Amino acid sequence: MLQIDGLTKKFGSLTAVDDLSFTVAAGKVTGFLGPNGAGKTTTLRMALGLTRPTCGTATFDGRTYRELPEPMRHVGAALEASSFHPGRTAANHVAMLAAGAGIDQGRGTAVLELVGLGSVADRRVGGFSMGMRARLGLAVALLGDPKVLLLDEPTNGLDPEGIVWMRDLLRHQATQGKAVLVSSHLLSEVRQSVDDVVIIAHGRLVHCSSLAELEASADENRTTVVAADPDALAGLAAQHTWKVTTTASGTVVVGPTAAEIGRAAFTAGVELHQLATEGGGLEAAFLALTEGQGDIR
Amino acid sequence: MTQLTTTDEPTTQVFPARVWWQTFQMEFRKYFSTRTWWMLLLVTFVWTGLNVATMVFAVHFGGAEMRAEPDMFVPIGDALARLLYSMGTTFGFVFPAIVGAMSVAGEYRHQTLTPTFLADPVRWRVLAAKFVSVVPLGALYALVVIAGCLVFGALPLAMLGDATALGSAQTWQMFARMVLAMVLWGLVGVGLGTLVNNQMVAVVSLLAITMFLEPTLRSIPMLIGHDVAILSYLPGALGDGITGETMYSMFTNNTLLSPAPAALGLLAYAVVLTVGGYYLRFRRDVS
């Protein structure tokens, strides 16, 4: 299990990750979602001890990555920028890391077969496609048969067939009792493979629940409302206990129908300039959660 | 507020010999899993060999003329042969230094520090393993340099009927000191790579310092007519001090340190650069 607790990273005046807390449970695939630049990679790098947090901790069963006696047997990671020496073969890359982690060399051959690189194991990585590099990164993550898998955009560069294969593999890992965290900027990409979702925007946690709960909330009505006096609208929402999120295009009200909002505003004498029903569904819910705060920086 | 430490004080798991051995093995495998090591080894052999051969012929046919120059000190017999062999390190020292610098700077270049630190998150152990793994590699380069001295130096000397000095124990002691010098240059390379990170900048600055700045500074004693003690502590002068003689001694008469203190001096350069690089660079965030 991975526990992120109050994790914060500041780069000068920019706060890339802001007091982030969540857990990744064993036996489940957790989707770690957010727009580009939301702080997903920085969070993973802090969890792995590659980047030093400004404050907060990331622990695996109570220990930081650096404190783990055999880190690669406990945690397997494939990071987006996880790079390879172009002149080194896939087999040598894996063998070198197996040696460093005290893992049997036979396991290296096995994981290369597992990710479908068995036939190109003796080719230099410089000639590998993005998809092959993604598979090699995954092979390294699986090398120690770890309890926790942290994968940053693992489907990047994979063809549709590869994406399905990856999905099945992650599912299989979770059913074996492993904690799997998969980051993505697209909810649709991981929707079919995750149990839980952690959504961040601008380094902050904006949503954390099971996928089923997120889907249930996505079925609720969503209406974008623009009022002449936003404070009056906020007061109205508070009075009716509506769930609201503020986005660049206005206030999104979750729950009541457009008609109910219009009637309540009319009764209360709040001047509305726009009342637009949003398309329903999960993608819209995701966008509503991250919109306005999640623009690319 | 708790701080997640990436690189601070050692934790309990640092000490098992097994972990040290694993990290050392990982570093050692890195050298031999790309083609750089044998390509550089080949260049070392040819480059030092050709330079030695050139001087063998230059001294054989032009030695008398050189000796007529008042500022030149060209020895004869066995001493001349040793002087010629010592050129192996004069021209070859840079190669183990490049290998050492690349062992760190190459990781920055190819962003391979990420997998390295995932395999062993204790960074000072990784750097220490790099430092130690360069030792056998430096020795390998030195053996190739000595082979070059025999093939391109001793062989033509014998063919020209000049002394080869191979029967003298002094010569073989010098070869042993050449191995030591090359190993220490490899360690200096690790320090440079740790401090500079960019392998091109590391190598160019090494060449600029040892082949331009140092020779310029070391010619001062000749101009002012007496020794300048501090010049014996320049890295190139220390390297020459280990070998015991060098082509520079033909042109300059500044005193070199004797081999043992010279070796300690060069080791000090390597340690200071590496430790400085560790604190200034190696502990930083990896992205």
Quick check: A141 contacting B, CB < 8 Å? Answer: no
Which residues partner with A197 through β-bridges? A31, A209
Test the A interface: residue of B2, B4, B32 with most A CBs within 10 Å: B4
Q: Are A140 and A96 in contact (CB under 8 A)?
A: no
Q: Are A83 and B110 inside 8 Å of each other by CB?
A: yes
Q: Which tens digit of pLDDT belongs to each residue from A193-220?
A: 899 999 999 999 998 999 988 888 777 7
- Tell me which residues of chain A, numbers 71 to 90, contact chain B at a CB-CB cutoff of 8 Å: 71-72, 77, 79, 81-89
Q: Are A201 and A294 in contact (CB under 8 A)?
A: yes
The percentage of residues in chain B with a pLDDT greater than 70, rounded to a whole number, is 91
Provide the CA B268 distance to its chain's centre, in angstroms.
13
Residue A21 CB neighbour total at 10 angstroms: 14
Mean pLDDT of chain A: 90
Task: Give this complex's ipTM.
Answer: 0.86
d(CA A245, CA B166): 86
Give B29's contacts in chain A (Cβ within 8 Å).
Answer: 92, 95-96, 99
Q: Are A96 and B29 inside 8 Å of each other by CB?
A: yes
Q: Are A128 and A90 in contact (CB under 8 A)?
A: yes
d(CA B146, CA A26): 59
Quick check: A14 contacting B, CB < 8 Å? Answer: no
Residue B45 CB neighbour total at 10 angstroms: 19
User: Which of A1-5, A253-257, B47-51, B66-70 has the weakest average pLDDT?
Assistant: B66-70
Residue A87: which of B4, B34, B287 has the nearest Cβ?
B34
Count of H-run helices and E-run strands, chain A? 11, 13
Residue B3: which of A55, A65, A102 has the nearest Cβ?
A55
Q: Are B112 and A85 inside 8 Å of each other by CB?
A: yes
Residue A274 CB neighbour total at 10 angstroms: 12
Give B286's contacts in chain A (Cβ within 8 Å).
Answer: 45, 50-51
Residue A138 identity? L
What residue of A is the nearest CA neighbor of B6? A49
Cβ neighbourhood burial of A160 (10 Å; 0-12, 13-18, 19+): exposed
Query: Residue B15 — pLDDT band, cuts 50, 70, 90?
Result: low
Q: Are A100 and B119 inside 8 Å of each other by CB?
A: yes
d(CA B58, CA A201): 72
Q: Would you say how long chain A is, in residues?
A: 297
Q: Is A268 helix (H, G, I), strand (E, B) or coil?
A: helix
Q: Which tens digit of pLDDT belongs to each residue from A175-185?
A: 999 999 999 98
Give A52's contacts in chain B (Cβ within 8 Å).
Answer: 3-7, 285
Q: What is the DSSP letter of A125?
A: G
Tell whether the model's pLDDT for residue B14 goes beyond 60.
no
Tell whether the model's pLDDT for residue B145 goes beyond 90.
yes
Quote the pTM value: 0.86
Q: Are B105 and B196 in contact (CB under 8 A)?
A: yes
Quick check: A69 contacting B, CB < 8 Å? Answer: yes
Q: Are A45 and B26 inside 8 Å of each other by CB?
A: no
Q: Which tens digit of pLDDT belongs to each residue from B74-89?
A: 788 898 999 999 989 9
